Each structure stands twice: as C-alpha cells, then as structure tokens.
Chain A
Amino acid sequence: MKARLFLFVLTGVTACAAGGAARAQEKTAIGISYQNLAFPYVAALQKAAENACKALDVNCIETDAVNDTNKEIANVESMLSKGISCLAFEAASLDASVASIEAANKKSVPVVQFNGKASGGQYVTFIGSEQTDSGVKLGTYLAGLYKQLSKPKLRGIYLRGVAGQVTDIARNDGMKNYLQSAGLAEKIDFTEQYADYDRGKAQSVTESLLTKDRNYDFIVANNDDMILGALQVVRQFNLVGKIHMSGVDGLPETLAAIKSGALDATVFQDPEGQGGGGVWGCYLTLKHVNLPKELLIPFTLVTKANVDQFVAIADRVYVK
C-alpha cells in the first residue's frame, strides 16, 4: 500500500534547519520544467514553486513546455547544460516525457517529479496527487447528494475533459468505481459529454442538454472551468439551487461560487503542496535526505462548510 505522507509535515519539520543552512552556502541551481503555464492551475504551481525558491534561497531556472514534448526536452537539455543540480519536472506527457527524464539521468542530475508523472526514467520521488482520488471525492459528493435528496434515482450531467487524456480517465474511473463500491451505480444516471476542460464548450454542451431536458438533479465536471461554464447556463435557465453542481480544482472563482451557494462543491487539489513540493523535493535530495518514491497529497472535498480554509491557500497562489 502506498504510504500517504503529507508533504507539509515533512517540510515543516525540516524547514527551520534547512533554511539557515541554505543561506550559508553558495546558491544551488534547481531547474523547473512546467507542462503548460497557460493553465491557471500550472501558473499557480509556478507561483508556489517560486515562493519555495525564495524561502529556500535557491536559484531556480524555469521553463515552460507549452504541452509540447519536443520543446520540453529542448528546455531540459538547455537547463542541464547550464549546470542545474536537480530537475523538478512536471511531465507534459505520460510516455513522451520519459526522454527528458532520461536526458537528466545521463548527466546524473537527480529528477523530482511533481503533479504530472511520466511512465519511465529514473527519478527520486514523485510529489503529487493520485488523480483517481479526485474522482473518488466527486463520487463521495454524489453519494452525499443521493442521501440528501432522498430520491430513488438521480439523473445528472457529467462533463468530461479531453477524450483519452490520462487525468480525465483517472477521474472517471475513480468516481464510477466509488459509486459501484457504494452500491450506487444503478441509482445514479449520467449523461456524459466531453467538453475539453473548456469553459465555452461546457457552456454550449450544457445549453443543448438543458434545452432538451431540464430535469437533471446534478452536474459534475472533471474540472472547475467546465463547471463554471455550466453554471452560467444554469443561471440563465434559473435553475440555481435546483441543479446541484461540483467541479474539481479549487479555483478562487469556484470557491467564491461555493461561498455564495451557486455551486455545491469542488475537489481541491493543492498547487502549493505540489508546486512548492517539487522545489522542496529537489532541495532535500541535494541535502541527502532520503525521500520515499511517492509523496501523495490528498484531494479534499470543499463545501460551504469548509470553504474558508481553502480560500487562503488559493489567494496565495492564484494571485495576479
């Protein structure tokens, strides 16, 4: 069984000693490769990573793969030639990103993976979240809704991300397996459509579905952008409160909508733990601290009851 370690516990323990020691030495260079900084979540990872670089007083060289694995390996090779001591790596692709890790392996530069993990190559540790866990949390939300509405059967819309994409499949599997194990697979009906994680597409899909039939109990989406697009339609159709809604991510906009009661929930994934964790993982590796192969940061279901504690984290990393 995978050990679930909370990164902040580890980092908290080592923070005081490490911070002082770092300043005493010459600045270490850590290379960071991001998947695509055009996504707000990845930009939040960057913000968290930069905060960690500052806190640890290390020199961080950052690059953006823009979802292109050719660019990714070119970036990594360029950072390696600049003499980085460790590579914090967010894989852009499951298989095609292996080449970048292997490039670092050849130069004996340790690799710490965060958020997105590639399928091969030698790495010290992976700091991120198990994406099926976010699906499980969505399933938990639906199970709670089933209880709350006390209807014999629930009907809902499930907005999927990009067809065939790893995270989308993991979230779908996590949610449906959970509902199966909870004995709810037959009690909850889904109308599924892919909307490419895109707000505008989710808006169009939801418009068409609700024009056909407004008798849905819920809408869930594999990311927050899509649930926010759907929310816009639900508002226009005056169905806020009648259709229960949840996404995944924990964008500040979603948290605000949960606070106002327009959305029921979201599944929070922690950019601070993941982005900061990549830099911390590198730092501790260079300090010869032995890290486990996986440092998993759990997803959390955010509802009106606990939303306030997540607003603070979101405000720290989703600024600008």
Chain B
Amino acid sequence: MIRQDDLRARSPSLPLPSAAVLRDYGIYLALLALIAFFSARIPEFRTWDNALLIVLQVSVIGIIAIGMTFTIITAGIDLSVGSLLAVAGIMSGLFAQRPETPLTATLAFTVPILLGLLGGAVNGAIVAFAGVNPLIATLGSLTAYRGFIVWFRVNPIYGLQPYYGVVGQGQVFGLPMPVLILVLLAIAGWVILSFTRFGRYVYAVGGNREAARAAGINVALVTFAVYVISGFCVGVAALVFTSRLMAAQAISGQGFELQAIAAAVIGGASLFGGRGRISNTIVGALIMGVLFNGFVMLDVPQPIQQMFIGVIIVFAVWLDAALRRRRH
C-alpha cells in the first residue's frame, strides 16, 4: 500500500500530495463548505442547539454506519440493518411498555442489543461459514427479519414508560445521550480498526482474502465477527431510535441500509473492500444530516433533497476514484 509520506518523498514537487490530501480530507472540506453555505443563509442554522440537533438526527444512521463500515472493509455488506432494527425495536418496546420493574427495565435495554448480536451472528454465520455471498445473504435476512416482525406485531407499540426515554432524550453534560453514544461507538470502532490486531485483519481480509488466509488469518472468523459488530450497532441504534420516538413500529428502519451505505461510501469506503475509516463514515453521515437540516430550514422540497444526496454520492465516489487513478 502506497502511503502519502512515500509519495512526498518520491516526488515533492508534483501536485500529487495535494491530491492525496484532497482524497483523504476532501470530505471534511465538503462538510465545512456545506456548513458555511447554510450558516451564511440561515441565522438559526449556525447555533449550538442546531449543531447538536444535526448530530442527534444522524445518530441512528451514524451508529448503524459504524457497523456497516466494518462489513464494507471486508468487501461485504449488511443489507438487513433496517429490518433488524425493527425487530430489536419492537422487542424492546414490548418490555418498555410494561410497568417499570428492575426486570422489565433491564430487558427493555438489553434485549435489543442481544437481538442485534443474534441477528448479526446469523448473518455472519451464513456469510462466513456457509459461504453465501453477503449481498444475497443479507438481502435474504432483510426480507426474513421484516416478514417476521410484521407477522409478529404489525401495530405500533406506544405508551412506553417514561424511564425508557433516557437513552433517546436524556442529556449528559448538556450533550444529548444519542450523540454521546455515537461518539463513544465511533471512538471504539476507530480504536479497533486502527490499533488492534483484529482491525488489521479486517483490512487484510477485505484487501486480499487469499493473501490473508495464506498469512494465517482465520478469514471466516474475522468475517463472522464483522457481521456481529454490525448487528451490535443495529441493536444500539434500535434502542436509540425507539427511545427517541417513544414508540416502536414493524415498518421502522426501511431504507436505513441505503443511508448507512451512503454514509460509508461518501466517507470513501470501497465496496471492493480493504478501505474505509470510521471517522470518514461519520463525516459522510454528517454531510447527509447537514443537507437534510439545511434544506428543511430553507423549505427545499424533499424530492430535490433526495436528488442532491444522490448527486453527492455519485460525485464522492467518482472523485475518490479519479484521485486514486491520479496517484497510481
């Protein structure tokens, strides 16, 4: 893998380093440009409260996108995240609806995480041990999880006990709890990918599966683990989502997979594997969040918003590929 430092050493006078900087940090510049644009046009946009709101609004997709980044780095994908979120949300809501006891409260907070882990483990086992293509495997579980939960409970669960709101609506040191959870998980994801042996294995499996296997890495186990991580993130996201809405629905989470993939891809993750960063994924999610918030404040109709996000996804991928070609 060619590093930026190597390039600088080899050809300091060429414009390559700036291209590399643009590739690695262009997404941050794009985010800053969007923030500057909306700040100039909307006074209410440039407030601390609104900044927190934007992060709050991207928290669910951001948390899911952290897990998604792990699967994408291994050249995989997890399409089942939205359906699994609905399953975990409904089951959590069932306990949160009951009168508050230590048992029901514990179950309301832990069941979604456990179900996320279980759903992720099922996906992981199918992909890693049965050898089914991840796109097909998680497309199947997307349908199966959704079918199950609609059959199980089609009507919304509401009237959740007030204590349950702490995860979605609580604050710690003035920060909304979902924002704090997003930041903590992002840091955890970054540490795992950047500083642990497992993290290096994840990149190795996505970069070249055969080489990874030859190097003695247990490819199946690493692959299994990334889907479990994705499921865990979905479980946490389900808890945040349900607690924020104080209601659970079987139709929740539809299309979340595409938003999470978009966040990772805007952040420069390669669907061919071997490349992706948690920090960039979060910035990718923030770009979509800033666009949504700014456009709503400017009264831009939703179809135009969708069009812009679509254009940005394609542009981000094209720019990334173009800069990469220039480097090699």
A interface residues with partner B (beta carbon < 8 Å): 37-40, 43, 163, 191-196, 198-200, 203-205, 207-209, 211-213, 225, 228-229, 232, 236, 251-253, 256, 318-320
Contacts and interface: CB of A to CB of B under 8 A. Distances in A.
Interface string B38-77: 0000101101011001001100000000000000000000
A315 B109 CA distance: 29
A229 B57 CA distance: 13
6 contacts: A199-B156, A199-B252, A253-B156, A253-B159, A256-B159, A318-B155
Contact of B245 (A196, A229, A256): A229
B216 interface: no
A193 B294 CA distance: 13
B249 interface: yes
Given A208-B296, A320-B153, A203 B245 contact: yes
A208 B53 contact: yes
Nearest to A191: B299
Interface of B: 42, 44-45, 47, 49-50, 53, 56-57, 146, 150, 153-156, 158-159, 169, 241, 244-247, 249-252, 254, 292-293, 296-297, 299, 301-303
A232 B158 contact: no
A-B pairs with the 5 shortest C-beta distances? A194-B302, A208-B296, A43-B154, A212-B44, A38-B150
Contact of A193 (B150, B169, B296): B296
Given A163-B301, A193-B302, A225-B156, 14 more contacts: A38-B150, A39-B154, A163-B303, A192-B299, A194-B302, A200-B241, A200-B252, A209-B296, A211-B47, A225-B249, A229-B245, A232-B246, A253-B158, A318-B155
Contact of A208 (B158, B252, B292): B292
Given A163-B301, A163-B303, A203-B245, A38 B146 contact: yes
Contact of B244 (A43, A194, A203, A212): A203
A254 to B, nearest CB: 10
A211 B150 contact: no
A320 B155 contact: yes
Contact of A212 (B158, B250, B292, B297): B297
A318 B153 CA distance: 11
B154 A208 contact: no
Contacts of B45: 212
Contacts of A319: 155
Given A38-B146, A209-B297, A251 B42 contact: no
B44 A211 contact: yes
Given A200-B245, A203-B244, A229-B245, A208 B293 contact: yes
Main DSSP-derived SS at the A contact region: helix
Nearest to A39: B251
Contacts of A236: 169
B245 A199 contact: yes
A38 B301 contact: no
Contacts of B53: 207-208, 211
Contact of B154 (A38, A195, A211): A38
Contact of A37 (B154, B156, B297): B154
A212 B42 contact: yes
A126 B5 CA distance: 72
Given A37-B150, A43-B155, A194-B303, A213 B44 contact: yes
Contacts of B158: 228, 253, 256
Given A194-B303, A212-B297, A40 B154 contact: yes
A36 to B, nearest CB: 9
Nearest to B246: A232
A39 B154 CA distance: 7
Given A40-B156, A204-B292, A318-B155, A199 B57 contact: no
Contacts of A191: 299
Contacts of B159: 253, 256
Contacts of A195: 302
Given A194-B303, A200-B252, A211-B50, A205 B245 contact: no
A199 B249 contact: yes
B230 to A, nearest CB: 20
Nearest to A252: B155
A40 B155 contact: yes
